[in-house]
Amino acid sequence: MIDVRLSGDDLDLSTCYDFVQDPACGGIALFVGAIRNHNQGEEVTHLEFSSYDGMALKEMRKIAEAASEDYGLAKVALHHRKGELKIGDVAVIIAVSSPHRKAAFEGCAYVIDELKKHVPIWKKEFRADGTHWLNARP
């Protein structure tokens, strides 16, 4: 079972945790990605996510399906924020459940790694030295 969301509102950890709970699963892994106050030696004041929503949700679902298949996960919740975020705000939450812990840890890592490579969501950082779309330039 998979729950993917792209939300303009605050993400909720217990919603993700509740979704993946399963009596057949002894391991639940959670990853929370938050906005940090620095990048590449510069102070970050806030940031903004832009997203191609229709495709982003499809890509998120593909990743969750691949993770379920490859790691034998029972349930995957993948929630991502959009819009403007402040330092400390939660950008992404991933929750996965599996009968055993190793698959839960590895499956959770797979989901965030693949999300960062493929899902059409873009981060614009507002820093003291200007604004930057991350990864956009050589």
Residues near other proteins (CB under 8 A): 33, 49-52, 54-56, 58, 80, 91-92, 112, 115-124, 133-138
What six digits make up the tokens of 101? 């812990």
Least CB distance to other proteins at residue 41 (A): 18
Least CB distance to other proteins at residue 100 (A): 26
Least CB distance to other proteins at residue 68 (A): 19
Q: Which is nearer to other proteins, 22 or 58 (CB)?
A: 58
Q: Which is nearer to other proteins, 63 or 73 (CB)?
A: 63
Q: Which is nearer to other proteins, 82 or 105 (CB)?
A: 82
Q: Which is nearer to other proteins, 20 or 92 (CB)?
A: 92
Which of 90, 92, 109 has the alpha carbon at shortest distance from 29?
A: 109
Q: Which is nearer to other proteins, 38 or 100 (CB)?
A: 38
Least CB distance to other proteins at residue 115 (A): 5
User: CA–CA separation, 90 vs 101, rounded Å?
Assistant: 24
Least CB distance to other proteins at residue 23 (A): 30
